[in-house]
Amino acid sequence: MHNLFNPVNSVMLLYTQKCNIACSHCVYDCSPDKNQKLDFNKTISLVKELHKFKIMQLILAGGEPLLYFDEVLKIISTAKKHKVDSILLTNGFWASSKKKAEETVSKLVSAGLNELVVSNDEFHSRFIPMTYTTNIFDAAKKHHLKASLKIVYSKNNSVFDFLHKNQNYFSKKNKKIALSFQQVLPIGRAAQNIPKENFNACRNTKTFDKKCDFLGNLVINYDGRVFACCNIFPEENPVFCLESNFNSNSLPFELINSYQKSLLVFYLRTKGPYFIQKLAEKHKLNKVNAPERLLKGYVNSCDYCQLNLSQYSQKELNFLLLNEFEKNKK
């Protein structure tokens, strides 16, 4: 058996697929009528064990995790008790007034939350007014909680358009907001709702000839499947899905070990997706899946990785990587 150790720096829980809104760009196809979520008691048991594996960061996302507010508070407080930092991603639906924002942020901080990431952009703002977001940042500032705004953008929904539309808030120096940006990907509802000319795509595949910088984060999906990263697509051939399952594996060690020993993670981490794709082509690996291509290029390395590697059987791809590993070991 190969002996690898892929470091796990954090665990991300896609706690639920349920969301109070249904954005047109949502890659996870979240909406109010989706009810899948992780088991609360199993989640608590996992969080209690993370520090034993030197995993000191927990990320809670969805869907909208704060639809299960009491459960999230307990998860955060459990993480705090076991010296694990927690980051919460939310769309901020709960901050319709300054009072409500203050009450919620106060409870999150008291539970031990370390960082709050709020999603709002041209897609989210069709459902969540910007005033909700500003209420959150005002409350976060009052409670000295680290907070940032995540903006998803495309060609026709640019970052600059969104910032300009809300310039009265962003221009106030005493309310400076930390920003992060993410290009919309042609996956999930985005592939159905957004015209292909509105995606930013690069045609030069050599651009992706580098190691993956997004690894180290074990992702547990709302249906219990465990993934090497947040690229959980496509459903028909989830090549990034690891061997363990949150619902059936009772020991955190089994979940973490499946990541640490993954050959796919190892080669993505040390060589990158371009190397794996070219290796598969060299050995004429059988293609069992043909993901629909909307674009002539790729939005980013995640898009390249998902579209190309998901063409192959997970079993056959892992066997190919095992042979490569054993050959190089000699």
When pLDDT is averaged across residues 3-31 and rounded to a whole number, the result is 92
Burial class (CB in 10 A: 0-12, 13-18, 19+), 220: buried
Q: What's the Cα-to-Cα distance from 330 to each of 275, 321, 323, 324, 326, rounded to whole Å?
A: 20, 14, 11, 10, 6
Burial class (CB in 10 A: 0-12, 13-18, 19+), 55: buried
For residues 103 and 85, what is the distance between their CA atoms, to the nearest angstrom?
A: 21
What's the pLDDT at 170? 67
Range in 88-102, 118-132, 223-237 the model is least confident about: 223-237
- The answer on pLDDT for 169 being more than 90 is no
Note the CATH architecture for domain 10-200: Alpha-Beta Barrel (3.20)
Alpha-carbon dihedral angle through residues 192, 235, 300, 184, given to the nearest 10 degrees: 40
What's the pLDDT at 176? 65
For residues 306 and 238, what is the distance between their CA atoms, to the nearest angstrom?
A: 9
Range in 169-183, 199-213, 234-248, 287-301 the model is least confident about: 169-183
**Residue 237: band (very low, low, confident or very high) from pLDDT cuts 50, 70, 90:** low
Write down the mean pLDDT value for the chain.
90
**Residue 267: band (very low, low, confident or very high) from pLDDT cuts 50, 70, 90:** very high
- The answer on pLDDT for 148 being more than 90 is yes
C-alpha atoms less than 13 angstroms from C-alpha of 157 in its C-beta half-sphere: 22
What's the pLDDT at 174? 47
Cα–Cα nearest to 75, from 106, 47, 110: 47
C-alpha atoms less than 13 angstroms from C-alpha of 210 in its C-beta half-sphere: 8
Q: Which two tokens stand for residue 76?
A: 């955060």
Q: Are 50 and 58 in contact (CB under 8 A)?
A: yes
When pLDDT is averaged across residues 58-71 and rounded to a whole number, the result is 97
Higher per-residue confidence, 105 vs 191: 105
What's the pLDDT at 330? 64
Q: Strand locations in the chain, DSSP E?
A: 10-14, 57-61, 85-90, 115-119, 146-153, 178-183, 217-220, 225-227, 241-245
- The answer on pLDDT for 160 being more than 80 is no
Q: What's the Cα-to-Cα distance from 79 to each of 47, 114, 229, rounded to whole Å?
A: 6, 10, 21
When pLDDT is averaged across residues 210-236 and rounded to a whole number, the result is 87
For residues 82 and 96, what is the distance between their CA atoms, to the nearest angstrom?
A: 33
DSSP 83: T
- The answer on pLDDT for 171 being more than 70 is no
**Residue 234: band (very low, low, confident or very high) from pLDDT cuts 50, 70, 90:** low
Higher per-residue confidence, 171 vs 67: 67
DSSP 156: S
User: What pTM, to 2 d.p., does this model score?
Assistant: 0.92
Write down the residue that tokens 């996302």 correspond to: 61
What's the pLDDT at 167? 74
Angle at CA 328, nearest 5°, toward 326 and 330? 75
The structural domains of the chain, with segments of one domain joined by +, span 10-200
Q: Please, what sign has the CA dihedral across residues 238, 240, 242, 247? A: negative
